């Protein structure tokens, strides 16, 4: 199961109810932090999540509201992980190595967690047998990326059929791995007793205007997490600063066959989420507005 925890849902400035940007995706033993705004490690503590458990950090771009919390995470993880072997993997757009170097040089007492940085552009940037991560370029005032998490497809055993054919124990594992087995002299193919269950897709559309990258991220996604900084009545302001309106985000989800939309990165002008939700639902019915500490299971 994939669990998403919203640690920060505001945009440029934190408010009393909304922290700066941060989204944590948990899957199996992986805790993947997408953006790391100011105060994210405190948000994690409140949510009952240990910062030291984070395995990967994905940085969409280097505007402060998406990275101001990164130095704190590195420091806290270094303290918590003393005498333990761990490497934190950090992925971001071109320039990430330079910016991170300057960030680390800006303070003393560098008892930081070991980390590796990989600058990425487009396509698959990490893959194992259980999932893969992709990046797509977005269109913002700085080099910006969006990300998608793709769970690997699984073979699901039809227990009644397997039992009828006498398949049990380790043989079920062989069939799940796509291998044929022999029971009582009869060859049984994986498709005889199982079917392919497609993996889930979760995407994060960070700061951008409508673009091909946003559409590709939303395409057939089970959950699209997208910025919706302003309502459409001030779309000129959103366009000036290269942000999506709530209407833009909803149309991207609708036009690309997404199943669920979660609006985040809200301007501090919106004190209540009701008007944001109303606009989103006009264009995409299965929309929700993110709140700090909200969890979504996929």
- In a shared domain, residues 81 and 190: no
Tell me the catalytic residues.
65
- In a shared domain, residues 22 and 161: no
- In a shared domain, residues 145 and 102: yes
Exposed (0-12), middle (13-18) or buried (19+): which is 184, by Cβ within 10 Å? exposed
Confidence of residue 267 (pLDDT cuts 50, 70, 90): very high
CATH of the domain at 116: 3.60.15.10
The pLDDT tens digits of the residues spanning 190-218 come to 888 888 899 999 999 999 999 999 999 99
Nearest to 35 by CA among 12, 7, 14, 15: 7
Q: Sheet harboring 287-289: ordered strands across?
A: 123-127, 131-137, 145-151, 201-205, 223-227, 261-264, 287-289
Chain mean pLDDT for the chain:
93
Q: What is the pTM of this model?
A: 0.90
pLDDT at 238 over 80: no
Specify the pLDDT at position 206: 97
User: How many Cα atoms are found within 13 Å in the side-chain-facing hemisphere of 223?
Assistant: 23
pLDDT at 32 over 90: yes
- In a shared domain, residues 53 and 68: yes
- In a shared domain, residues 173 and 37: no
- In a shared domain, residues 104 and 47: yes
- In a shared domain, residues 178 and 33: no
- In a shared domain, residues 142 and 42: yes
Residue with tokens 């009828």: 164
Across the range 86-99, mean pLDDT stands at 96
Range of the domain at 184: 155-195
Specify the pLDDT at position 42: 96
- In a shared domain, residues 160 and 98: no
- In a shared domain, residues 159 and 236: no
- In a shared domain, residues 166 and 290: no
- In a shared domain, residues 11 and 159: no
Total domains in the chain come to 2
Biggest CA-to-CA distance, the chain: 72
């Amino acid at each position: 199961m994939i669990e998403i925890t919203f640690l920060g849902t505001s945009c440029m400035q934190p408010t009393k109810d909304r922290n700066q940007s941060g989204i944590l995706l948990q899957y199996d033993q992986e805790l993947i932090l997408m953006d790391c705004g100011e105060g994210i490690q405190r948000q994690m503590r409140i949510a009952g999540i240990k910062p030291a458990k984070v395995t990967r950090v994905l940085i969409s771009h280097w505007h402060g509201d998406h990275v101001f919390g990164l130095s704190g995470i590195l420091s806290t993880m270094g303290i918590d992980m003393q005498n333990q072997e761990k490497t934190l993997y950090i992925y971001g757009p071109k320039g990430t190595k330079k910016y991170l170097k300057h960030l680390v040089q800006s303070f003393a007492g560098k008892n930081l967690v070991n980390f590796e940085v990989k600058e990425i552009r487009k396509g698959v940037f990490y893959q194992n047998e259980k999932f893969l991560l992709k990046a797509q370029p977005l269109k913002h005032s700085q080099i910006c990326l969006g990300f998608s998490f793709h769970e690997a497809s699984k073979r699901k055993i039809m227990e009644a059929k397997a039992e009828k054919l006498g398949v049990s124990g380790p043989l079920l594992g062989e069939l799940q791995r796509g291998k044929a087995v022999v029971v009582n002299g009869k060859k049984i193919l994986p498709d005889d007793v199982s079917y392919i269950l497609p993996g889930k897709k979760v995407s994060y559309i960070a700061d951008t205007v409508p673009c091909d990258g946003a559409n590709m991220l939303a395409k057939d996604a089970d959950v699209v997490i997208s910025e919706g900084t302003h309502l459409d009545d001030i779309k000129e302001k959103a366009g000036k600063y290269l942000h999506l309106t709530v209407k833009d985000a909803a149309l991207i989800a609708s036009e690309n066959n997404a199943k669920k939309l979660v609006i985040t990165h809200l301007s501090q002008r919106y004190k209540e989420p009701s008007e944001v939700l109303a606009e989103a639902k006009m264009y995409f019915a299965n929309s929700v507005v993110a709140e700090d500490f909200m969890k979504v299971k996929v």
